[in-house]
Structure 1
Amino acid sequence: MQKGMRLNDGHITYLALLAKKDGTRRGFLSKKNSDNTKWHSKWFALLQNMMFYFENESSSRPSGLYLLEGCVCDRAPSPKPSLSAKECLEKQYYFTVTFSHENQKPLELRTEEVKDCDEWVAAITQAR
């Protein structure tokens, strides 16, 4: 029988700082908020199968952590622009991370460059 792994706040902070320094992929992504209405720019850092996000590049503590084990990461089509949309959607590239955990909704992310989007999708796919 396999025992569960325990991480405390200190472990997570250490791993987050390691991800910021030596992670396989780091940079700003826009993340859709939990009520699916707004996008917020966050600093992301990928380390092994963990993806941390921070309020900004200089934050020392992560705002959150996604465990990527068993996830599926795919490019997503751009949403249909509404007449009141203020953002220039044609210069945004979208992807989603769908988790295998029950009741965890997909993570919606976007970049401003197609190359960044493709590199994030490849890195997350490899990390899973």
Structure 2
Amino acid sequence: MKLNERSLAFYATCDAPVDNAGFLHKRGGRGAGSHRRWFVLRGNMLFYFESEASREPLGVILLEGCTVELVDAREEFAFAVHFAGGRSRPYVLAADSQEALEGWVKALSRASFHYLRLVVRELEQQLAAMREGSPANALPVHPSPVSNPRPKENGRAVWSALPEEPTAAPKRPPLPPRRRASAPNGPLVSFAQLHERYGLEVQALRSQWRGGQADLAGLEVWHPSSSGGTHTQDQP
């Protein structure tokens, strides 16, 4: 496959975030020793540079149809990138620590589009299963009606939002004493009879009031005079 070297160099050194980066020991051809290179993983492409400050990559490994395996090698924390069908020689790499080894093996195993297709297929199956078993497709369930549902905030009922529901019917105000006395079960009293009865009571109260006014009129009203200890009586 032919690749544009200028486009690859720009993609390898652009400011976009990388999937993984760090130093690895890369073994050369048969019988050759290993060299410490700076590796950068972007998508399904593994670039390697002479140093971290280099602006152009020395090469790139296209991670399609490959498998990542641990291998026994002279270097500690070594692993190899194998390609199916033997179309390319395996790349033997070695990390600086066990933690770095695990990080690189995990990142490289997930870098191919084949892995992404498997992940997407699995997620689609899970989504389809969730839709089939979702409550929206089930038979509607009608809950029993609840009078005056209380609003909730953060899952808790706001008790001050609505007035308290009365537990019983409100009591009527007590009847006046006079009406309660005439409340026994009997024939209803007409309006004319009530008017006559209360009219007599009003006349009696008015007569009492007039008698009291007459008694007050006979009292002597005293006013202090300028002479000091004597009083004069007002004449009617």
Question: Normalising TM by the smaller chain, what interval?
Answer: 0.7 to 0.9
C-alpha separation in 2, matches of 1:7 and 1:76: 30
Corresponding residue of 1:113: 97
Give the secondary structure class of the aligned counterpart of 2:65: coil
In the alignment, structure 1 segments of 5+ residues that lack a partner are 80-88
Runs of 4+ off more than 2 Å: 100-103
Aligned residues: 112
Tell me the CA shift for residue 102 of structure 1: 4.2
What do residues 19-78 of structure 1 show as CA deviations (whole Å, max 9, x unaligned)? Answer: x85211001000001234201000000000000000000000000000001110011124
In the alignment, structure 2 segments of 5+ residues that lack a partner are 113-236
Superposition TM-score, scaled by structure 2 size:
0.44
What do residues 58-116 of structure 1 show as CA deviations (whole Å, max 9, x unaligned)? Answer: 0000000000011100111244xxxxxxxxx5xx2010000236431100000120110
Identity %: 31
Amino acid at match of 2:7: H
Question: Any residues of structure 2 matched to 1:43-54 within 5 Å, and which?
Answer: 43-54=38-49
Picking from 42, 50, 61, the partner of 2:37 is 42
C-alpha separation in 1, matches of 2:79 and 2:12: 23
Superposition TM-score, scaled by structure 1 size:
0.79
User: RCO higher in 1 or 2 (8 Å CA, sep ≥ 6)?
Assistant: 1
Task: State yes or no: 1:104 paired with 2:92.
Answer: no
Kindly indicate which of the two structures has a greater share of residues assigned to strand.
1
Question: Any residues of structure 2 matched to 1:69-108 within 5 Å, and which?
Answer: 69-79=64-74, 89=75, 92-100=76-84, 102-108=86-92
